[in-house]
Amino acid sequence: MTDLETRAAPPRAPLPRRAAPALLGYAAVRALGLVVLAVWSAARGKSAYTLLTARWDSLWYTRVAGPGYGYEVRLPNGDVHSDLAFFPLLPWLERALHAVTPLSYADAGFVVSLLASLAAACGIFAVADRVYGPRAGICAVLLWAVLPVGIVQSMAYSESLFTALAAWSLYALLTGRWVCAGTLAALAGLTRPVGAAVVAAVWVAGVLSFVRDRSTSRTPGARETEGAISHAPSTSFTTPATPAPSVTSHTTPAPPAAPRARVALGMVIAPLGAAGYVLWVGRRTGRGLFGYLDVQAGWRNGFDGGYAFARFVADKFTSFPAALAGVSLIVGVALLLWLYVIGIRRRQPVELLVYTGVVLALALCASSYFGSKPRLLMPAFPVLFPLACSLARLRTSRSVLVIAVLAIGSAIYGAFWLNGSGPP
């Protein structure tokens, strides 16, 4: 351990003050995306606001928010698209906001997503700041903002809401707030099926906490040592590559010890949201535990270990123009997996690794809706942390230039995408 790591850390500013630069940068990126979308849509005679609030999944959410569940579409091939596939938290929030304001359900969905995206940005900063320091936290937020499909963060979709709940649940785990982590995990489970990733993170962290408790009961004083080691970044993060302010000497504080009862309570609460909704769907459909699976089957969606996605990619190589798209897909997936492996090698906290791994697995191994995979991967924000640390090592002027170029590209792509096929 170096002198820098053992030196007493100066008092840190409150989290909202540390997060302010990240939130300002995030708001600027999202504003740019909305302005470009508005100009692009106007040039094509379309309404940008309609694209954001009243198309694709947004319509399904507003239907649930209004009359409630019960709407379905029967396709000519016999498939049944039921609104039971959409989890209820976002519609509940739309209905609540509609009840206390003059906003329509679609307007309420836009407001909820706007506020949720800011909460998600703040949560991502909190997690990255905890693990790698404030410069990396700012860069992580900005990288999440400039994702090619980042415009979805401003749509009346549930991605922003889910990411906010997931990020703050993970932060609660990292800071030893077990009941809070479990409650946020339960709410995430009411938002999207991938809420299982947050539940898995809570459960794995809880089991490891019990294991550590058993070890420390036999070896007094071992908790502090073990916690510091298990949450410390890799040694490759201890020597900055440039004279820029260092982000790599930051050592993640071990979460404070918590009573076993609170750990257990957090673990019990975590799956209640997802389990409650799935059981309710099973009762409504009369199919018990298989009810929700039947609903997903009606959308031709399921989990096949990635076989269908692999076939989809392979089919791209039947012609030369499509082969370029196939190569891009392979490179994109390889990059995601490489970044995840880097996170493992640099010893990210296990909570983040479990969460990210489950999100990646569920998104990449789903058997349908291949065009939706980029936005389904959006909640896997910890995969951006290695890139954020590399970006944070640069001089501020260079990192700002990189983010500016990416923000412009993201804004243009988002406008092009929503005015074209858009997210299915």
Report percent pLDDT > 70 for the chain.
88
Does position 233 have pLDDT exceeding 60, yes or no?
A: no
Confidence tier at 411 by pLDDT (50, 70, 90):
very high
What is the DSSP secondary-structure string of 219-288? STTHHHHHHHHHTSPPGGGSS-SSSSPPSTT--PPPPPP--HHHHHHHHHHTTHHHHHHHHHHHHHHT-G
pLDDT at 301: 86
Query: What is the pLDDT averaged over residues 255-270?
Result: 88
Residue that wins the pLDDT comparison between 260 and 201:
201
Residue 209 or 8, more confident: 209
pLDDT band of 423, cuts 50, 70, 90: confident
User: Binning pLDDT at 50, 70 and 90, where does residue 241 land?
Assistant: very low
Give the range among 53-62, 71-80, 260-269, 364-373 with minimum mean pLDDT.
364-373
CB atoms closer than 10 angstroms to residue 74? 11
* Closest-CA residue to 23 (of 141, 162, 150): 141
Return the C-alpha torsion angle 324, 329, 332, 333, nearest 10. Answer: -150
Residue pair 248/393 in contact (Cβ under 8 Å)? The answer is yes
Dihedral sign of CA atoms 308, 310, 311, 315 in order: positive
Element (H, E) at 415: helix 396-418
Q: How confident is the model over 344-387, as pLDDT tens digits?
A: 999 999 999 999 999 999 999 988 777 788 999 999 999 999 99
Look at residue 399 in the predicted model and tell me its pLDDT: 96
Q: How far apart are alpha carbons 152 and 163 in whole angstroms?
A: 12
Structure confidence at residue 11 as a pLDDT band (50, 70, 90): low
Please say if the pLDDT value at position 238 is more than 80.
Answer: no
Q: What is the mean pLDDT of the chain?
A: 88
Radius of gyration of the chain from its Cα atoms, rounded to whole angstroms? 22
Q: State pLDDT tens for residues 14-41.
A: 888 999 999 999 999 999 999 999 999 9
Both tokens assigned to 89: 């938290």
Q: Are 25 and 124 in contact (CB under 8 A)?
A: no
Q: How far is CA 319 from the centre of its chain?
A: 34
| Banded model confidence at residue 252, pLDDT cuts 50, 70, 90 | low
Q: Express each pLDDT in 132-191 by its tens digit.
A: 999 999 999 999 999 999 999 999 999 999 999 999 999 999 999 999 999 999 999 999
**Residue 94: pLDDT over 80:** yes
With a CB cutoff of 8 Å and minimum separation 6, the contacts of 58 are: 52, 106, 109, 155, 156, 157
Contact, 83 vs 126, CB < 8 A? no
Q: 221 versus 126: which is more confidently predicted?
A: 126
Tens digits of residue pLDDT in 291-321: 999 999 898 888 888 888 888 888 888 877 8
Per-residue pLDDT band for 244 (boundaries 50, 70, 90) equals very low
| pLDDT score recorded for residue 321 | 80
Would you place residue 212 in the very low, low, confident or very high pLDDT band (cuts 50, 70, 90)? confident
